[in-house]
């Protein structure tokens, strides 16, 4: 099958001058890639008639699909609609459906509808209008000689909504592209190459139409399974059976799928087990508690915590023994275990977890260089601690400590 080719065209001076970041085109590229469409060029031009027309012509010559964003405001420097009308030899007309939508949109928000706003409803007569339920500028769709032009607003959430709801399904129909099904498997606590080693035989067993990608980020590795075929339900079942076969090999590292986060996964485990958590954070400085409390409803299972940045407070608030600090220092197995046990008691929680380390850049010693971190978990039955040897970078050390201690809690909850 001949590969369908696409170009992405962004229109707007504000992108050329570096005033705003273009996140749209990466997102569109990834969506097209999932559709099996190959993006061959991205172009950004300013609000200039000739540049826009030239870009249209060059893109049409090279590609089957031209996706255009931007230049759809109601003012005179917004040229996309008039240039599309010119390019396709069409008149500009007032579209009644769009006009009503725009009027309604303004009324609902209690904003004044002006003469200028009416211009949002001006579209090339030849265009098929794509209804933009999140904004006032409509999408438009053009077909000529087996090729497709699509114009969309540049506002990211409006563009994404239009793409997902209308453009992708229409492109799939028009070009008869195959169905693609993705599933993300999220792992923590194992590096990419170790994970790849562990699941090598499983990976080799994947059929040709299911591919695997490793997507590493700080402390995490995501596995993306991509299945290509004709029936979404069959692909979904095939992928699920492959994940079932993966579990025995990697279950201890997997904390969830697709949009799941580590802090959310722990919250769900705590809720399911009817347990509460408290935290004592020294080197991580409150970041673990911040991550936990970003989850709506975390007050159901999170009792609270302490950041005992100075050693005095480890003693006063958490009951760490002065002898422990004297004999081993704050960055030690003994201290971090007493912190976890202490915060559990102080907050009357089922589980206590703790961090203590040298985030850097200062504070390192030959024995305990920057990046030395202890983490601990205590639940009344057992107290476990783990030593980490992290990096020279303070912010990275804070983030890696957070992921590691949350993972320690997750593994302990899993039993």
Residues in touch with a second copy (CB under 8 A) = 10, 15-23, 25-33, 38-46, 48, 51, 58, 279, 281, 285-290, 292-294, 296-299, 302-310, 312-313, 316-317, 346-348, 359-363, 394-395, 398
Smaller CB separation from a second copy, 246 or 358: 358
Shortest CB 123 distance to a second copy, Å: 26
- What are the φ and ψ backbone dihedral angles of 191, each rounded to 5 degrees? -75, 160
- Write the DSSP string, 389-403: E--S-HHHHHHHHHH
Smaller CB separation from a second copy, 12 or 189: 12
Spatial separation of the C-alpha atoms in residues 291 and 293, rounded to whole Å = 6
Shortest CB 265 distance to a second copy, Å: 18
DSSP state at residue 330: S
Shortest CB 308 distance to a second copy, Å: 5
Our measurement of the distance from residue 207's CA atom to the centroid of its chain's CA atoms, rounded to an integer in Å, reads: 28
Q: Tell the burial category of 249 from Cβ atoms under 10 Å away from its Cβ (0-12, 13-18, 19+).
A: middle
Smaller CB separation from a second copy, 321 or 345: 345
Shortest CB 348 distance to a second copy, Å: 7
Shortest CB 26 distance to a second copy, Å: 5
Spatial separation of the C-alpha atoms in residues 125 and 215, rounded to whole Å = 45
Smaller CB separation from a second copy, 138 or 342: 342
* 50 three-state secondary structure: helix
N-terminal to C-terminal alpha carbon distance within the chain: 50
Smaller CB separation from a second copy, 211 or 240: 211
- What are the φ and ψ backbone dihedral angles of 34, each rounded to 5 degrees? -65, -30
Smaller CB separation from a second copy, 32 or 188: 32
Smaller CB separation from a second copy, 281 or 379: 281
CB 331 within 8 A of CB 360: no
Nearest to 132 by CA among 159, 172, 169: 159
Shortest CB 299 distance to a second copy, Å: 6
- What is the CB-side half-sphere exposure of residue 280 using CA atoms within 13 A? 37
Tokens (6 digits) for 118: 């009416």
Shortest CB 71 distance to a second copy, Å: 14
């Amino acid at each position: 099958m001949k590969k369908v080719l696409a170009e992405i065209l962004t229109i707007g001076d504000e992108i050329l001058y570096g005033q705003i970041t273009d996140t749209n085109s990466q997102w569109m590229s990834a969506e097209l890639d999932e559709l099996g469409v190959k993006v061959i060029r991205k172009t950004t031009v300013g609000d200039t008639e000739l540049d826009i027309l030239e870009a249209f012509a060059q893109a049409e010559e090279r590609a089957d699909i031209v996706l255009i964003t931007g230049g759809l405001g109601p003012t005179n420097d917004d040229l996309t609609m008039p240039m599309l009308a010119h390019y396709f030899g069409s008149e500009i007309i007032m579209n009644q459906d769009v006009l009503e939508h725009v009027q309604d949109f303004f009324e609902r928000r209690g904003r004044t509808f002006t003469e200028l706003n009416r211009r949002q409803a001006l579209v090339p007569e030849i265009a098929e209008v794509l209804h933009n339920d999140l904004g006032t500028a409509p999408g438009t769709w053009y077909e000529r000689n087996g090729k497709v032009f699509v114009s969309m607003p540049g506002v990211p959430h409006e563009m994404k909504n239009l793409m997902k709801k209308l453009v992708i399904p229409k492109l799939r129909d028009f070009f008869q592209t195959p169905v693609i099904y993705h599933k993300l498997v999220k792992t923590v606590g194992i590096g990419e190459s170790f994970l790849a080693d562990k699941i090598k035989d499983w990976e080799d067993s994947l059929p040709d139409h299911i591919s695997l990608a490793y997507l590493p980020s700080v402390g995490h590795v995501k596995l993306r399974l991509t299945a290509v075929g004709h029936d979404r339900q069959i692909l979904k079942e095939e992928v699920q059976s492959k994940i079932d076969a993966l579990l025995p090999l990697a279950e201890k590292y997997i904390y969830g799928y697709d949009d799941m986060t580590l802090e959310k996964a722990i919250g769900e485990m705590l809720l399911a087990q009817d347990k509460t958590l408290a935290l004592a954070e020294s080197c991580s400085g409150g970041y673990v508690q911040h991550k936990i409390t970003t989850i709506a409803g975390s007050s159901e299972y999170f009792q609270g915590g302490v950041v005992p940045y100075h050693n005095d407070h480890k003693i006063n608030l958490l009951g760490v023994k002065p002898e422990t600090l004297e004999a081993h220092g704050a960055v030690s197995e003994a201290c971090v275990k007493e912190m976890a046990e202490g915060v559990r008691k102080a907050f009357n929680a089922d589980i206590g977890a703790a961090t203590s380390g040298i985030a850097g850049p200062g504070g390192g010693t030959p024995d305990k260089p920057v990046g030395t971190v202890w983490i601990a978990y205590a639940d009344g039955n057992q107290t476990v601690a783990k030593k980490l040897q992290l990096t020279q970078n303070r912010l990275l050390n804070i983030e890696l400590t957070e992921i590691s201690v949350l993972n320690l809690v997750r593994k302990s909850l899993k039993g």
